[in-house]
Structures are given as C-alpha cells and as structure tokens.
Chain A
Amino acid sequence: MTPSKVRVKKKILSHKLVPKHELLSVEEAAKVLKEYNVKPYQLPHISVNDPVVRLLNGHPGNIIRITRKSPTAGESVVYRIVVAY
C-alpha cells in the first residue's frame, strides 16, 4: 500500500536522533483527540512514507504518539497524524 522506493531498516529506530514512535489504537486515538479537543487534521502531520511510519506499518489517519527526549522538560509527548503524501 505504501509506495516504497527504498527499503527501511529496523536499525534506524535505535538512532539517537529518532525518538520513540508508537502507533495508537482507534480507542487511544479517540481519547487523545478528546483530551486535546482537536480534530485530527489539527495535529502535526507525518507522512506515510516516513521511514519510521513505514516500520510501524502506519496508514493515513492513524495517530502516532511520539515520546521525545527534551532538553528542557526531560521527556515530552506529542502526537502526529499520518497523512498520505
């Protein structure tokens, strides 16, 4: 389904620059949208062709939870919605 030009490798997930990504279930996603009181398109986007999304097998419409290591807060959680381009 996702157009794959290059093969993505699991090892990129352990790269220092790549934070933890998790694919949310529909229930979790609905909870997140309710908590932040936003519509899906108001979340930051992430492409289906993003290597990490491809490894997680994400599809457009899925919401991804990203746990960033932040130099100011220690850890911060953000959400991105998978979009099709």
Chain B
Amino acid sequence: MAKSLKSALTAASEILPPKIYEELVEKLESSDLNVKQKRAVVEEAVREYLSSQVHPGEAVGIVGAQSIGEPGTQMTLRTFHYAGMLEFDVTLGLPRLIEIVDARKKPSTPTMKIYLVDKIGKDLEKAREIARRIEYTTIEKVISEIQKDIVNYTITIVFDKEMMDDKGVTLDDVIPLLKKLKIGDIEITDDNPPTLTIYLNEDVDIRTLSRVEDKIKQTKIKGIKGITKVAIEAEKDRDGNLIEYIIVTEGSNLAEILDVKGVDYTRTHTNDITETAEVLGIEAARNLIIREMQDVLEKQGLDVDIRHLMLVADLMTWSGRVKAIGRTGIVGEKSSPLARAAFEETQKHLYKAAAMGEIEDFKGITESIVAGKVIKVGTGMIILTQEVR
C-alpha cells in the first residue's frame, strides 16, 4: 500500500507545480490519515489542479484586462504622497499604474531603495555615512551666498555651516576642487561663517564673471549623478523591532549605486523599469513590472490576482525590450490594419494601409469581429476537417 502512495506522489510531482507539490507533501506528512486516504488526497489534488487550469482557447487577455480594469476604476485619480518621515513624493495610484503600462522612459518620481550589507545595515551612523557619500552634492548646495566684485575681480563665497555639517562637507573638500577650476588664487577670509575669496587671474567682464559663478556653483563635491536627495528609513518587523536601515533616494542611478561599497547589490532596486532593463536585463524588468504594479494595487487596497499582472509583464517584455501597451506599443504594432484602425486613429491607419498595400488576413480577434467572422477564441479556435480518402 505504501508503495502505491509513493508512485501516486511521483506521478503527482510531474503534473503539479513545485510549490503546490511541496505543500501537498508537507500537509500529508503532518496529517494522521492512513495510506489509503493519503493516496486519495493526492489523486484529488491532481484532479483539482488539472480541472482548474486555463482551458485552451480561453481569452486570458480579455479576462486580465477586465480584472485589472474593474478595480482600476475605483482607484482615486489623486496622486498619493508618501506618508511618514519622507519629505519627497512618490507617484502612486492610477498615475503610476499608467506610467508602468505606458513604459515611460523615466518615471515621474524616480526613486531607489538601497539596502546595505549585513554588517552595516543595522548601524545608523554607517548608513548615514553611505547616504552622504551617494547624495549628489554641488557647491551650490552648501553655500548661503556668493558675491561678485566687478571692480576688484573677486568672488566671495559664504558657506552655510549647517548645510556643510548636514552633508558632511568641509572646506578642505571644497578648496582643492576650486583650485582645479584654475580661476584664481583662493584665500580663506573668515571662519564663522566660513568664507572664501577668489582673486581672479585676469580682468574679466561681467558676463564671464557670471559664467565663472555658475561654474563654481555646479562643481560636484561628491555623490552619484542623479541622486538628488537621500533619506534613511528604518525597516521594522511587526513587533516594532528594527530589522535594518535602508536608504531611500530621490532620483535613480542603478548602475553606479550597485558599485558603491557597503551596498547590498542583490536587493537594491529602483522603480525605473527602463533602467532596470538596461542594467539587469529584460527578465529583471519583467519582475519589476509585476512587483511595481502589485505594489500600487496593494497600497490602494485592491486585490488583483498576480497572474493577470504576470500576463501583462510577459506581453510587455516579449520582444526583449520593454514595450508599452497601447497605441505606441503593442497595439500599434499589430500586423492587421483593421485591428489598428478599430483601436485608435481609424482614418490614419486605413489610409496608410491602403497606400502601402497592406494585406488583411483576418487571423486576430478584432479584425474578425469587424468583418463578422468567427473569432479564434474558445470553441472558435477549433476547425473540423474531414479526412478525404
């Protein structure tokens, strides 16, 4: 008898997906059913699994569109802002969902979640140090005033002590950078607030002076391009115990952040799907599309089966690049002119198709409906032919 249970399980393992199979085995082991009953359970599980599979010809795309669209109508159009300690906005809700599906090149609010390696993930000071290191800081951010003297050809920079402490910048960091610009001699003229005076090398007119001022302001002190703001967030478990500190940023630069020492490059991610596709590949982009859409829906309290989202992500990444759904993407590239005309910009597509001599072969759903033909969905997929003897 035990043998027959084993063989039933092996048969089941070939049919059931690994996750369901593992769960089944686990439940069987902990149950006190006898062998015969267990065997019946295995058989019932397989039967149930097979009967709940999608049937051939099922219009999964339509079901998916309805399943995302219906709760989507209940979504508030208002953009929600991040609650809590973060001072910057993250687009959520319907605008974000549209952004994902449209495969925009840049999200309206790019943001990254930077995880840190085990050793420093729990250390607030070290996390802060990394956060300072990656924040893109220019001289402009740490000064309170810049004065130009067109008579003596000098520029006086007054620094903001508080900002400098906040960003972890000292005068010793700034002076070599200014020297590198080769605009003139530098002298520290005051300590509180720290003030520098630059004596320009040559006599210049006021336009050049302004240009030099801009150059000084935009000089990078440190940081990674694109990361405009950083904040530290404490991730806590349900009981309020600290798990680790993570750095949340405004702006995104995945490729360079992954190279920063102390950053956990296996978990750090961005919400920029195009960037993820470039740095981590199309499969990573697919996973991110699913995750981001699920995130948006979940935050709105909507429950959409993940299979629908997976289908959308599969379709968007089918060609190896992230493609939008809609006129500019998948629908716009349909080979059938009637299907395209039925969607948007009818005349344009018809004229163009006529001018180009396109052929309509009525293989898809939309064009079949336009022409009143049987659609190739469900039972319409099956064609009966008689064998001629």
Binding site for B on A (CB under 8 A): 6, 9, 11-12, 14-19, 21, 44-47, 50-53, 66, 68, 70-76, 80, 83, 85
B259, B283, B321: which contacts A66 (Cβ < 8 A)?
B283
Binding site for A on B (CB under 8 A): 17-22, 255, 258-259, 265-267, 269, 276, 278-284, 287-288, 306-307, 310, 314, 317-321
> Given A75-B18, A80-B320, A46 and B287 touching (CB < 8 A)?
no
Least CB distance, B188 to chain A, in whole angstroms: 41
- With contacts A12-B258, A15-B267, A16-B266 known, what are 15 further pairs, Cβ within 8 A? A17-B269, A17-B283, A18-B281, A44-B314, A44-B319, A45-B320, A50-B282, A51-B278, A51-B279, A52-B280, A73-B20, A74-B18, A74-B19, A74-B21, A85-B320
Do residues B280 and A71 form an inter-chain contact, with CB atoms below 8 A? no
Do residues B284 and A46 form an inter-chain contact, with CB atoms below 8 A? no
Give me 11 A-to-B residue pairs in the complex whose CB atoms sit less than 8 angstroms apart, sorted by A's number: A12-B280, A14-B266, A15-B265, A15-B280, A16-B269, A18-B280, A19-B283, A51-B280, A52-B280, A75-B17, A83-B320
Chain B interface, DSSP helix/strand/loop, else mixed: helix
Closest to A68 in B: B283
Do residues B284 and A18 form an inter-chain contact, with CB atoms below 8 A? yes
Do residues A46 and B18 form an inter-chain contact, with CB atoms below 8 A? no
Chain A interface, DSSP helix/strand/loop, else mixed: mixed
**What A residues does B287 contact at CB under 8 A?**
17, 19, 68
Do residues B282 and A17 form an inter-chain contact, with CB atoms below 8 A? no
Do residues B320 and A46 form an inter-chain contact, with CB atoms below 8 A? yes
| 3 A-B pairs with least C-beta separation | A74-B19, A73-B17, A74-B18
**What A residues does B269 contact at CB under 8 A?**
16-17
Closest to B287 in A: A17
Least CB distance, B215 to chain A, in whole angstroms: 28
> In the docked arrangement, what's the CA distance between A52 and B310, Å?
21
**What A residues does B306 contact at CB under 8 A?**
71-72
Do residues B284 and A15 form an inter-chain contact, with CB atoms below 8 A? yes
> In the docked arrangement, what's the CA distance between A9 and B269, Å?
16
**What B residues does A12 contact at CB under 8 A?**
258, 265, 279-281, 284
Q: Counting chain B CB atoms within 10 Å of each CB, which of A14, A16, A72, A75 scores highest? A: A16
